[in-house]
Structure 1
């Protein structure tokens, strides 16, 4: 197994960690926001773990971007366009939203506002991630929503 295959497997497996943490963080933030719950140390840690896991996934993805034969395909083909432009753009945007949401939540003191910032920014990031997954399944028929690539 070469470096590319190891990195591709790491990136494919790590996505589940990022996705699960993101879903849990959004659910907790919505519950805290609408339930008017205090912002706990557990909330903060979950948000930081989500942020860190997303950034680790970004590092894997950026390295793969330059090694993958998929990004060398013609942009005129749906698969090539998806992997060369759409996937990376949407994922970077999602990670930027996670980063900004986490930073904004740290700057406010009100617990409800902290939950609200996380719910909004992480929620939009989650929507972008899910949309990117659906776009992937449309561009590349060999891939499934939760299938390992």
Structure 2
């Protein structure tokens, strides 16, 4: 079961990152060109929100069945882990949860804006910040097979 959830979490991450990059790029372009915020823009942002939340749910399941989650912390303690183990057990989950909270805040704030430019700006800022946080804490060495 662990391997199946791990593979789902790893492969679904490519799709989540792609849709998140598309949402951020769409918002930046909309902001820069003073585009009207239409249903296509709404859907792109909404899909990015939904898929990041779905990825979080898969990640939380993985965290509690994985040997790198709570089991690693309770067995070795924080001082007994290598930097790679600490990344998987603490840094990645914690920072990604913060990133998804920021994405959710961006979704909520964009709906309250009076102008389309400000709506695009909220999406660009909060989704972009969330994307940067996620990219900063990906286990690149494992993900890319290095």
| Same fold, judged at TM 0.5 (above) | yes
| Structure 2: gaps of 5 or more residues | none
1:55 aligns with 53
| Structure 1: gaps of 5 or more residues | none
TM-score by length of 1: 0.87
1:143: Cα distance to partner? 1.7
For residues 6-28 of structure 1, what are the alpha-carbon distances to aligned partners after superposition, in whole Å with 9 as ceiling and x for unaligned?
11111111101110011011111
Count of aligned residue pairs for this structure pair: 139
1:79 aligns with 84
1:83: Cα distance to partner? 1.3
1:129 aligns with 134
TM-score by length of 2: 0.89
4+ long deviations beyond 4 Å: none
1:109: Cα distance to partner? 2.9
Is the contact between residue 96 and residue 133 of structure 2 (CA under 8 Å) also seen in structure 1?
Answer: yes
Q: How does 1:103-118 map to 2 (within 5 A)?
A: 103-118=108-123
1:43 aligns with 41
Is the contact between residue 87 and residue 137 of structure 2 (CA under 8 Å) also seen in structure 1?
Answer: no
